[in-house]
């Protein structure tokens, strides 16, 4: 499983997937068949968007020694899980018409801070987990290497520029590699914003994202964000970057 290449899948559910997800979740929770009335009680007036936390594509301990097991357990099991739960709470409360995460992010300036922060957190972490894989780090090959060299001079120069963006993001946020109208670009966003959000200074299709919130590294690295970023390069799943690059 650790060596498998997982296709990139958005971590939101379509309307029909949502019904199946709700059915499965509620059946699992209650141990009983779901009465149709339960589905009809879902919030009306919304586009049916519901976030779901994708399974972690590897065991918690798989990223050792670069990212420690306890950090992974808390980060995935507590932080990410809470973003998903709170995003869905906010979606239910705010009757947002979006049917996809991309639509939601495209109109994110009009929703609550709770929805913006938690929907970003729900989506960003799914990309973060799938952007890492044990044994995948090191140098990219083929299309990705060529694209990075073409845009930034060399893969090494790309890594330096991306690391710089990660280090210069003050406080909590993310560093990104994005595809911007056919061109690769590097930047960062604060909090749980991402480059799909209309309010973001950095815009584009995210290809790779690095979480630089202290919760992502503090247990092992404390204040040494630079050591965390350096270690993270050993985990980058270049196959996922290639898949997103398309």
Which stretches of the chain bind Mn ion, using CB under 5 A?
A: 211, 213
CA 25 to chain CA centroid, nearest Å: 22
98 phi/psi in degrees, rounded to 5: -60, 140
Distance of closest approach, residue 75 Cβ to Mn ion, in angstroms = 6
Q: Which residue's CB is nearer to Mn ion, number 129 or number 213?
A: 213
**Pairing between strand 183-190 and 205-211?**
unpaired
End-to-end CA separation in angstroms for the chain: 23
Q: Which residue's CB is nearer to Mn ion, number 213 or number 221?
A: 213
Distance of closest approach, residue 74 Cβ to Mn ion, in angstroms = 10
Q: Which residue's CB is nearer to Mn ion, number 91 or number 212?
A: 212
Distance of closest approach, residue 212 Cβ to Mn ion, in angstroms = 9
Distance of closest approach, residue 172 Cβ to Mn ion, in angstroms = 8
Q: Which residue's CB is nearer to Mn ion, number 162 or number 213?
A: 213
CA distance linking residue 75 with residue 80, whole number of Å: 6
Instruction: Please answer whether residues 34 and 41 qualify as being in contact, where contact means their C-beta atoms are separated by less than 8 angstroms.
Output: no
Query: Per the structure block, which two tokens stand in for 55?
Result: 């399974």
Q: Which residue's CB is nearer to Mn ion, number 68 or number 94?
A: 68
CA distance linking residue 243 with residue 111, whole number of Å: 31
Query: Per the structure block, which two tokens stand in for 243?
Result: 């898949």
Instruction: Please answer whether residues 225 and 212 qualify as being in contact, where contact means their C-beta atoms are separated by less than 8 angstroms.
Output: yes
Distance of closest approach, residue 132 Cβ to Mn ion, in angstroms = 12
Q: Which of 125, 103, 106 is nearest to 48 (CA)?
A: 103
Nearest residue relative to Mn ion (C-beta): 211
């Amino acid at each position: 499983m650790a060596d498998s290449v997982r296709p990139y899948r958005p971590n939101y559910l379509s309307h029909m997937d949502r019904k199946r997800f709700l059915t499965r979740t509620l059946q699992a929770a209650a141990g009983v068949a779901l009465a149709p009335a339960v589905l009809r009680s879902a919030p009306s007036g919304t586009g049916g968007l519901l976030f779901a936390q994708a399974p972690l594509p590897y065991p918690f301990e798989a990223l050792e020694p670069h990212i420690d097991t306890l950090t992974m357990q808390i980060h995935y099991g507590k932080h990410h899980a809470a973003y998903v739960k709170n995003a869905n709470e906010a979606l239910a409360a705010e009757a947002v018409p979006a049917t996809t995460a991309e639509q939601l992010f495209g109109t994110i300036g009009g929703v609550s801070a709770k929805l913006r922060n938690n929907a970003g957190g729900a989506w960003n972490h799914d990309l973060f987990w799938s952007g890492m894989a044990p044994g995948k780090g090191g140098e990219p090959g083929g299309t990705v290497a060529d694209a990075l060299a073409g845009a930034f001079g060399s893969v090494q120069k790309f890594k330096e520029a991306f690391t710089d963006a990660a280090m210069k993001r003050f406080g909590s946020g993310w560093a990104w590699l994005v595809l911007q109208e056919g061109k690769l670009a590097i930047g960062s966003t604060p909090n749980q914003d991402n480059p799909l959000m209309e309010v973001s200074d950095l815009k584009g299709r995210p290809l790779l994202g690095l979480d630089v919130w202290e919760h992502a590294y503090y247990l092992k690295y404390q204040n040494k964000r630079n050591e965390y970023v350096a270690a993270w390069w050993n985990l980058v799943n270049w196959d996922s970057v290639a898949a997103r690059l398309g």
